[in-house]
Amino acid sequence: MYAYDKYDHAIVSARVAEFRDQVERRLSGALSEEEFRPLRLMNGLYLQLHAYMLRVAIPYGTLNSVQMKRLAHIARRYDKGYAHFTTRQNVQYNWPKLVEAPDILQELAEVEMHAIQTSGNCIRNTTTDQFAGATNEELEDPRPYAELIRQWSSFHPEFAFLPRKFKIAITAADKDRAAIRWHDIGLVLKQDAASNLGFEVVVGGGMGRTPVIGKTIRDFLPKDDLLSYLEAILRVYNAAGRRDNKYKARIKILVEETGVDIFTKQVEDEWTRTRNDGIDFPAEEEARIRAHFTPPPLEVLPAWSDLETISAKDPKFSSWLRNNTDSHKVSGHRIVTISLKPHGGIPGDATADQMDLVAELADSYSQSEIRVSHEQNLILPHVAERDLPALYKILNEAGLGTPNAGLLTDIIACPGLDYCALANARSIPITQAITNRFNDIQRLEDIGELKIKISGCINSCGHHHAGHIGILGVDRKGEELFQIMLGGSGDADASKGILLGRGFPADQIVGAIETVVGVYMDAREEGELFLHAVRRLGTQPFKEALYGNA
């Protein structure tokens, strides 16, 4: 993975010193809150219901074991013994003290991490496929491009005060695990007819109160032109994006209001004018960065014959193997998803002890590498098949072995009203109620792939628009109600969920989900997944089951 050079170290250290001075001036009263607020947000420090919240960037979701141990140490030393992995491959601490925030940033800088650009109207952490560099489904590892984008966008002076925040995601596989069509810019690595590498460029996706699926503005952009083209898009957006209304300030609104054809022409014109200005990376810089992503020295092994035998004797291990491991590009290895979704637990939360354990397991079994998925799980990307039984045993004993990846209880949920100052309703208790009800793995496997995503407000941090079942918490005269939508998807065939009707009180939402699942189970065809059944049936049978024919 990428390692800081002397410039990276100098920049991040200088930022820590600068923020330490700003905090001291705030505490002394030399800076007012009005003056200080944008400065703390530039360093990822929010104020939530109970305390400050620090959001730490995990570039494209890649961590090494040393970094994970440091995150655990920070949770223990400066917070309350846990951290929360987010839907943008970041990590959040819910209880840091302002006075200690500079010390936390110093601790992060020592392991080549920071919280820069995790807030504010700037280009945020570029996200990607959590299986990048390990999956046999990708054209090549997309992370070197994500790192190039990170370096280009970090402290980019022209894009420090955009109309609104800006999120980029990239994938190199047909199966989109990064929800790229729901981002301001989504990039799909492709090959043209002559086997040259390039990108499909998708613009104007986003969730929030106006959900929009991104539109392709270029079918194929040669890879060497990536940064100049991104710069052209950002320039058009920066100049023309609305600044009069924050709810209409995202690029998705600009694309919708301008029209995709005119917007595309504006980008192409800007690119024609600026593409030779030296924005694109020179080949030697690409090579320097790419060298950091050299695949680990995994031994090519034959498929481990004992795996099937062991699996046949242990149904729990068998479920975990089936649901929580994926094929690897190197024979004899698997990609392991560590579920942070224990039934009845809080999605994305991990204790400091669990984080330390994952770091140790990464050292023992996965080339010291860890990934964070936007679905709020952790990944060990390079595990030998022969190590899987021992790894599962350790994970299971630590509460990290729930075999539910991709199943109904692998729920994405925002922190909701239990933590978030913006939320209208609580997401986590709804998640817990659902996962407590659907806690039988055999039943979950029978239901099959079904992604539930829950947000506690219209800002959609829980990605409810992209849920096969989406749940949105709303406040109606002081009562928390939960609306259900069906048919959303974050995958390559992205789609927006369709609202079924009025919201349900908290104590009725589990029953409503049971009803929806029941309709699917009764109506599905052989092997038909939930999402496909909803697309075939439409929402009417589900509405009738939930609300009757009235």
Partner 1 sequence: MAKKIKGPQIILANRLDDGRAVFFTPKQNWSYQASDAWLAIDEAAQQQAMEAAMKSDADNTVIGIEFIGASDSENGPVPTHAKHIIQNTGPTVRLDLGYQAEGAGA
Supply the minimum distance, in Å, between the C-beta of residue 99 and partner 1.
6
Nearer to partner 1, 78 or 220 (CB): 78
Nearer to partner 1, 36 or 530 (CB): 36
Nearer to partner 1, 51 or 398 (CB): 51
| Site for partner 1 contains 353 (CB under 8 A) | no
Q: Dihedral through CA 20, CA 25, CA 27, CA 31, nearest 10?
A: -130
| Site for partner 1 contains 99 (CB under 8 A) | yes
Supply the minimum distance, in Å, between the C-beta of residue 505 and partner 1.
13
| Site for partner 1 contains 49 (CB under 8 A) | yes
Nearer to partner 1, 60 or 482 (CB): 482
Would you say 210 and 253 are in contact if contact means Cβ atoms under 8 Å apart? yes
| Site for partner 1 contains 80 (CB under 8 A) | yes
| Site for partner 1 contains 51 (CB under 8 A) | yes
- Total residues at interface with partner 1 (CB under 8 A): 29
| Site for partner 1 contains 436 (CB under 8 A) | no
Which residue type sits at 267?
V
- Site stretch for partner 1 (CB under 8 A), options 46-54, 326-334, 446-454, 510-518: 46-54
Query: Site map for partner 1, 475-504, x if CB under 8 A?
Result: x--x-x------------------------
Residues in 361-420 at the binding interface with partner 1, rule: CB under 8 A: 417-419
Which residue type sits at 445?
E
Supply the minimum distance, in Å, between the C-beta of residue 5 and partner 1.
35
- Site stretch for partner 1 (CB under 8 A), options 11-19, 49-57, 134-142, 308-316: 49-57
Q: Tell me the sheet residues that pair with 480.
A: 475
536 C-beta neighbours (distance < 10 Å), count: 11
Q: For residue 189, give the nearest of 140, 152, 147 by alpha carbon.
A: 140
Alpha-helix runs per DSSP H in 111-174? 143-153
DSSP 300: P
145 C-beta neighbours (distance < 10 Å), count: 28
Nearer to partner 1, 50 or 292 (CB): 50
- Quick one: which of 117, 368, 432, 455 contacts partner 1 (CB under 8 A)? 432
The size of the chain, in residues, is: 550
In this structure, is the dihedral angle defined by the CA atoms of residues 49, 53, 59 and 65, taken in order, positive or negative? negative
At residue 155, the 3 state secondary structure works out as coil
- Quick one: which of 88, 426, 451, 465 contacts partner 1 (CB under 8 A)? 426
Nearer to partner 1, 54 or 63 (CB): 54
| Site for partner 1 contains 429 (CB under 8 A) | yes
d(CA 465, CA 485): 8
DSSP 496: -
Supply the minimum distance, in Å, between the C-beta of residue 85 and partner 1.
16
| Site for partner 1 contains 111 (CB under 8 A) | no
At residue 12, the 3 state secondary structure works out as helix
| Site for partner 1 contains 157 (CB under 8 A) | no
d(CA 404, CA 337): 10
d(CA 130, CA 62): 8
Supply the minimum distance, in Å, between the C-beta of residue 34 and partner 1.
10
Would you say 416 and 431 are in contact if contact means Cβ atoms under 8 Å apart? no
Torsional class of 281: left (φ above 0), alpha (ψ -120 to 50), beta (otherwise): beta
Strand boundaries in 410-522, DSSP class E? 412-413, 452-455, 469-476, 479-486, 498-499, 504-505
- Quick one: which of 52, 225, 386, 445 contacts partner 1 (CB under 8 A)? 52
Binding residues (CB under 8 A) for partner 1: these are 26-29, 33, 47-52, 80, 95, 97-99, 346, 417-419, 421, 423, 426, 428-429, 432, 475, 478, 480
